Each structure stands twice: as structure tokens, then as C-alpha cells.
A and B are shown apart, each in its own frame.
Chain A
């Protein structure tokens, strides 16, 4: 019987809820493991889970410098989508979407995945044409996409301003109906529990301060909880990738760390049952099941490792929200926070073996890492276990920049703050 079920709920209720096991253990570090994963966020935990589940590698530790899920997996705006133009991205994110669709059952943990759709708004004829092209590219690859008219958009979101007198009038939109949202903390906890039950050690408050080396080869990590040897060391540190790789002597990467803010409003009655993005700036918003509007916009625009942002972006995001939904002008903002994003030079991720022998690297998620969590873990686990990439991450190499095979979804070039 599954550990979490209606029956187990009933049984534990009858015994006064005293018999629940912690979702994951707090083990002491062992002296050595087959694989050590640096970073106890969504991607690191998913990697550990799929290493155990798909490849039978259970002698694994996930080391996390803070508490589990304290980084970007708990800081994002929870949107999940696969509406990309370029085939390597579309295929990868669609695989992720398929894993999302069965994730709660697979993990036996409710990640509250809700396929409420993601709608990109178009404000110019050229933008609408561009969306039609992207929609066609998606449908060619078996992903759902639908163009929406102004009337359909108004029916879906009665509060939106679709008038011709709006600052940027809306001409239509591209909808991915299977896209949606998930409860981000539950994703971290679910993967942690799934990995833990298969024998993976999750070591919290265990910061990596150096690497053990045998010549070029990486043979383990030095942590605040002692030295840990490992046959393979995998880095999944998102915004801190630069800091971790510096410890291994890699001082240049095609990555810049930037800060992205997010906001939540006071709770409202049901107002928006989809995720909507503004096309004449950078703004996206959804409504959580608790009623708070969750929204965000652009990066602050300069290198930063500080998990807090500045006021100009706050003002810009609020202005964009009110441009779309004038009725939200009087709604109060409840909280704001920020996360550090590993912005790559082409806006696409890196999942690869290397750059040193014994090392594996997963980074460059820009601000799209959350939706990639299942596929990222799946592909990274495959790369670690087999020492070769899965066909879905074969294009996400570290050397693609020097080889001229970049995957630049937006065509912005090597300007990370614009991806």
C-alpha cells in the first residue's frame, strides 16, 4: 500500500497521528558515496530520485548548504509550460510536461499540479504572427497550442482590459491549455521523500567548501560537515553555480548570476484561473489556490548574488499589472522576494558531463528552472549513470557556445540579462 493514501490517513487519524514517519531522514554523512549531488533544490533532489528509480543507484548523497528547498525551488512563481519554438527546447520541456502530468502519482505526494493553461498576449500584428509560428512549431512536435481571439480572451479573463484604448491594446494570444502551475514546496518535499525512501541521504546544512582532487579528477567534496568521497560529483547549484565551480578552479563559465523578483498580493476571491503573460513588457501572473496573485517581471538587470531586488523593477511590474488589469490598482501587495538566476548566454540550459573528469554540471536555467525540474533530474541522472547524455539533453552541452551551436530561443545573443 502507498505510504500516503486515504486509508493511511484514516489509520493515522485513529492512532492520533503519532505514527507518521518524517518525510526524509536526517542522516550523518557517510565517508563515501557513489554519487554526491551538490544542491538540495528541485533539480538536485529530482536527480537523486531518478538515479535511484531509473538507474538503481541508491548510494547517493544530496548536500545542501541551507535547509532543503531554500533556494529557487521555493522562490519561483510556479508556472509549468512547454511552449517553446526551437526543437531541442520543445522536446525537453514537453518531456518535462509529461512527467509533471503523472508526478503526484509517481511520487505518491500531491504536488497540486493544475493544468489551468498559460496564455501569452499579443499586442501587435507582428507579435501575433510570431505566436502563430511558435504555435505551429509546437503542434508539429506534438505539443498543444491554440491561438485565441480577443473575445475568447475576454471570456476567459473578464477582468482584463481588452479595449482599443488600452495603453497596449490586445490583439490575441497563444494559449497552451496543458500548461499550468504546481505547488513548488511540495515538489521539493515530494522528490526528497521519494529519494530518501529509496536510500538516498539528504544532508542539510552541509555547505561545500572545496573539492577533493586526484590530479584533474574530482574525487569528492570538502564540506562543513567533513570530507565526503565520491566516484561522481554532480553540481546542480543554480544561481550559486559560479561560486561552486570556482572552488573547483573553473573561474569562467557562459553564465551570469542575476536577481529576479517575485510578488504575491493579498488573497482575493477567484479572479484568474489561468496564467497570463503580458507581451509589451515582461510580466506574468497567476492566482494561487489560497487566492493570492503571484506575479513577476524582468530581472533587475545586473549581476547579483543578493537574494533581494531593487525598487525600479517593483514599480515597472506594478505598472504592467495595472495596464492589463486596471481593477487591481487598489489591491495590496503582501510580500516580495527574489532569487538568484543562473542566466546562460543563449537562454538555454546546460546538462552535461564535465568539465572536469568525475564531475557533472547542470546549470543555466535562467528563470525557467522550475518547470524543467522533472526532466532536468531525469536527464541529469541519465548523464551521470551512463556517462553520456540522454537524447533530450544531448544539445545542452557546455561547449556549444564555442562550437557555434547555441540554442537562442529569443535571438538575443550573448546578453544574459535579456534572455
Chain B
């Protein structure tokens, strides 16, 4: 199986480390909602079909990649950097007027 790293191009899957389900929503660090934490840690959709998942190019550029891969056929339909995502989410979370 090949994964296409957005920075390095197509590489063998053995260069990557699997980080699991990319749909999970981590609660805010100070959240006391136990149910939300339990769901984040333990519950998975585990679809047979397209799966949104996180990989790290640990044997290469070490960047984290958001991949959509079919769990029946292993066809990869998208592979984009996670980085843009987290930057955007951090900006959205920042309170207006707070220091960057």
C-alpha cells in the first residue's frame, strides 16, 4: 500500500505510523464532561468503507496527515496535512482581542 505524503509524494506504508480514527473530537482540556472524554478515548465508528484517519510520516518528514482511505479496498481518496486544520481550529477558538 502506498500513501501520498503531501510534502514528500507517494511512499511505502511502512514509512508511516498509524494514529487511528480522525473523527474523534478531543474535548477542551479543562472539560469535566466524563461522557465526552470516554467517547473520545474509547468509542469508534469503525466503518467498512471510507475512513477518515490520521497518519504520521514518521520515517520521513514527520508531518501528520489526514487520510481518507477505504477500509475494504485500501483506495486512498485524499491525503492532506493535518497542520492547516489545527491552525484554523486554534484561531477559531481564540477569544476576540486575545493576543496571538
Complex formed: what's the CA distance from A318 to B56 in Å?
26
Instruction: Let me know if B71 and A257 touch, CB within 8 A.
Output: yes
Complex formed: what's the CA distance from A306 to B69 in Å?
12
Q: How far is the CB of B33 from chain A (nearest CB, A)?
A: 12
Q: How far is the CB of B52 from chain A (nearest CB, A)?
A: 10
A414: contacting residue among B13, B42, B51, B71, CB under 8 A: B42
> B13-33: contact bitstring with A at CB < 8 Å (1 yes, 0 no)?
110001011000000000000
Instruction: Let me know if A256 and B18 touch, CB within 8 A.
Output: no
Set of chain A residues within 8 Å of B34, measured between Cβ atoms? 402
Q: How many A-B residue pairs lie within 8 Å, measured between CB atoms?
A: 68
Q: Contacts A303-B51, A310-B13, A312-B14: A401 and B42 contacting too (C-beta < 8 A)?
A: yes
Instruction: Let me know if B12 and A312 touch, CB within 8 A.
Output: yes
Complex formed: what's the CA distance from A306 to B1 in Å?
13
> A306-344: contact bitstring with B at CB < 8 Å (1 yes, 0 no)?
100010100000000000000000000000000000000
Complex formed: what's the CA distance from A10 to B72 in Å?
49
Instruction: Let me know if A254 and B18 touch, CB within 8 A.
Output: no
Q: Contacts A306-B73, A312-B13: A242 and B42 contacting too (C-beta < 8 A)?
A: no
Complex formed: what's the CA distance from A246 to B73 in Å?
19
Instruction: Let me know if A254 and B42 touch, CB within 8 A.
Output: yes
B46: contacting residue among A255, A402, A414, CB under 8 A: A255
Instruction: Let me know if A402 and B38 touch, CB within 8 A.
Output: yes
Task: Indicate whether B45 reaches chain A with its CB closer than 8 angstroms.
Answer: yes
Complex formed: what's the CA distance from A79 to B39 in Å?
34
Complex formed: what's the CA distance from A37 to B54 in Å?
35
Instruction: Let me know if A303 and B46 touch, CB within 8 A.
Output: yes
Set of chain A residues within 8 Å of B69, measured between Cβ atoms? 302
Closest chain B residue to A401 by CB distance? B42
Task: Indicate whether A345 reaches chain B with its CB closer than 8 angstroms.
Answer: yes
Set of chain B residues within 8 Å of A252, measured between Cβ atoms? 39, 43-45
Instruction: Let me know if A242 and B38 touch, CB within 8 A.
Output: no
Task: Indicate whether A243 reaches chain B with its CB closer than 8 angstroms.
Answer: yes
Complex formed: what's the CA distance from A156 to B38 in Å?
47
Instruction: Let me know if A251 and B45 touch, CB within 8 A.
Output: yes
> B58-79: contact bitstring with A at CB < 8 Å (1 yes, 0 no)?
0000000000010111100000
> Interface residues of B, CB < 8 Å — how many?
26
Task: Indicate whether A253 reaches chain B with its CB closer than 8 angstroms.
Answer: yes
Instruction: Let me know if A302 and B42 touch, CB within 8 A.
Output: no
Q: How far is the CB of A69 from chain B (nearest CB, A)?
A: 21
Task: Indicate whether B48 reaches chain A with its CB closer than 8 angstroms.
Answer: yes
Q: Contacts A312-B12, A312-B13, A402-B38: A303 and B53 contacting too (C-beta < 8 A)?
A: yes
Complex formed: what's the CA distance from A243 to B35 in Å?
24
Complex formed: what's the CA distance from A417 to B21 in Å?
12
> A280-305: contact bitstring with B at CB < 8 Å (1 yes, 0 no)?
00000000000000000000011111
Q: Contacts A302-B53, A417-B18: A256 and B12 contacting too (C-beta < 8 A)?
A: no
Closest chain B residue to A345 by CB distance? B42
Instruction: Let me know if B13 and A304 touch, CB within 8 A.
Output: no
Task: Indicate whether B96 reaches chain A with its CB closer than 8 angstroms.
Answer: no
Complex formed: what's the CA distance from A257 to B45 in Å?
10
B-facing residues in A361-419 (Cβ within 8 Å): 401-402, 414-415, 417
Instruction: Let me know if A242 and B48 touch, CB within 8 A.
Output: yes
Set of chain B residues within 8 Å of A305, measured between Cβ atoms? 48, 71-72
Q: How far is the CB of A145 from chain B (nearest CB, A)?
A: 32
Instruction: Let me know if A401 and B38 touch, CB within 8 A.
Output: yes
Complex formed: what's the CA distance from A312 to B16 in Å?
11
Contact residues of B with A, CB < 8 Å?
A: 1, 12-14, 18, 20-21, 34-35, 38-39, 41-48, 51, 53, 69, 71-74
Sample (17) of A-B pairs whose CB atoms are under 8 Å apart? A253-B43, A253-B44, A254-B43, A255-B44, A255-B46, A256-B20, A302-B13, A303-B20, A303-B21, A305-B71, A306-B71, A306-B72, A312-B14, A402-B34, A414-B41, A414-B42, A417-B18
Known: A240-B48, A252-B39, A304-B74. 17 other contacts (CB 8 A): A242-B46, A252-B43, A252-B45, A253-B43, A256-B20, A257-B48, A303-B53, A305-B72, A306-B72, A306-B73, A306-B74, A310-B1, A310-B13, A310-B74, A401-B42, A401-B43, A414-B42
